[in-house]
Amino acid sequence: MDWSFGTIYTHDLKPKESSYSAEREEFLSGTPLPLTDMVAGTDGNLYFTTGGRRIDSHLFRLRYIGTDRASAENTSNQVSENLRKLRRDIEKYHTQILTNAIPLAWKNLNHSDRFIRYASRIALEHQPVKQWQNLFFEETDPEKIVEASIGLARQGDKSLQSQIVNKLNRLPFEKLSTHQQIDMLRSYQLLFIRMGTPNVTDRQTTAKRLKAYFPHTNNAINGELGLLLLYLKADGITEGLVLLFDKHTKEKTRGNSKFLPEETTLRSEEYGPIIRDIISKIPPSEAIYYGVLLSHAESGWTKNTRKKYFQWFYDVLSAKGGLSFKPGMENICLAAMKHVPEKEKDYYQEFSGVYSLSLAIADLPQPIGPGRANTTVTILVI
């Protein structure tokens, strides 16, 4: 239910491998129709209420009055049912430690269905790690290696980190499918999040290897690579991120998010104009992603790249992104400013057009009065 735009949506579930897929479509709408709750009655009717924010509440009953009462088509099939049964058999080991759990889970770590792969990994994580970690080090299948490395990052001992990194570094990245490449990069990330910064040798080796694939033709892979390479302090990564940042800024690259159709936004006089204004001036989401990444870059900057970066904040603030968009962008800019040498901050502050309260009050005179040595004055900005 959508309270703001008075719309009820329905999702028609269709079996897909061991799970389901669904497409959303409008079922019912009204102007105004501020929906607050809904329930399917045992009598076959749909009941829903409206109200909220000082609006009178109403109870509605929606009932079918047609003559065709044929039951919904059963689109299930034996293949999907078998896959769901396999997934549920594996999921039993999410709460049990049994000897036959590891062989079944390991066999399905590279299953074509992602939900079965996930169920298999979680089943492994609930078994004693020492009983299956050697299977990982002996494995040759790339997908099983990636899935098991995630499990080891979550449940394994930190002393295994270097061995896991070396195993991942030997995988043929260029021969993996897109989803396998993304999973592999996220496995590295989780490994460093859970087990800490790798030693110097592993850091340099991993950075050099991954840098060979950056920039990538796939935006999603580029995002994961950029994040990792910046963390690993790869040579030239700041300059590489600035080039991507500039490219997406010029191309105004945006994600594939689906927005409300104009017809739907017309159902709300209060929120409709705001949404239509945002859609007409959508922020460049890919450039913002790299803008956030670069706010963490401590080194590798030149005067020109910094100038281009901070000038971007001035330009992007003309976009629309909701009430928190501008403060959010300002916070990103201020975070990046922390890595600028003190003597250059005023110069780049002017380019960004971002107002910094801390910089603005830094030179204010101290209050005069009896007070104490540790007296402070708080300035409230309203």
SS (H, E, C) 253-295: CCCCCCCCCHHHHCCCCCCHHHHHHHHHCCCCHHHHHHHHHHC
CA 315 to chain centre: 25
pTM as predicted: 0.82
Return phi, psi of residue 17, to 5°. 50, -125
Residues 6+ apart with CB under 8 A from 173: 181, 184, 209, 210, 213
* H helix or E strand, kind and range, residue 10: strand 7-16
SS3 32: coil
> What digits encode the pLDDT tens for the residues 273-329?
988 888 887 778 899 999 999 999 999 999 999 999 999 988 887 776 767 888 888
State the pLDDT confidence band at 42, using cuts at 50, 70 and 90.
Answer: very high
Side-chain half-sphere CA neighbours of 361 within 13 A = 9
Whole-number pLDDT of residue 201: 97
Instruction: Report the b/e string of 183-205 with b at 16+ CB within 10 A.
Output: bbbbbbebbbeebeebeeebbeb
> What digits encode the pLDDT tens for the residues 206-234?
999 999 999 999 999 999 999 999 999 99
Whole-number pLDDT of residue 382: 46
**2-16, 32-46, 105-119, 354-368: lowest mean pLDDT where?**
354-368
Whole-number pLDDT of residue 316: 82
> What digits encode the pLDDT tens for the residues 364-376?
666 666 655 555 5
Token look-up 């989803």 returns: 179
- Flag whether pLDDT at 253 surpasses 80: yes
Please, is 109 exposed, middle or buried when counting C-beta atoms within 10 Å of its C-beta (0-12, 13-18, 19+)?
Answer: buried
Whole-number pLDDT of residue 270: 87
Q: Would you call the peptide bond into 103 cis, given omega within 30 degrees of 0 as the criterion?
A: no
- Count of Cβ atoms closer than 10 Å to residue 149 Cβ: 26
* Dist. CA 196–CA 158, nearest whole Å: 8
Return phi, psi of residue 16, to 5°. -145, 105
**36-40, 71-75, 117-121, 133-137: lowest mean pLDDT where?**
71-75
Higher-confidence position of 379 and 231: 231
Domain boundaries, the chain: 7-62, 239-360
* Dist. CA 285–CA 306, nearest whole Å: 20
pLDDT, the chain, mean: 89
Whole-number pLDDT of residue 92: 96
Token look-up 């690259």 returns: 253
What is the mean pLDDT of the segment spanning 101-122? 97
- Flag whether pLDDT at 23 surpasses 50: yes
Whole-number pLDDT of residue 196: 96
SS (H, E, C) 149-162: HHHHHHHCCHHHHH
* H helix or E strand, kind and range, residue 62: strand 55-62
Token look-up 């492994």 returns: 124
> What digits encode the pLDDT tens for the residues 138-167?
999 999 999 999 999 999 999 999 999 999
Whole-number pLDDT of residue 73: 52
Helices (H), the chain: 78-91, 101-107, 114-125, 133-138, 142-155, 161-169, 178-195, 200-211, 219-231, 237-251, 262-265, 272-280, 285-294, 303-316, 325-337, 345-352, 357-360
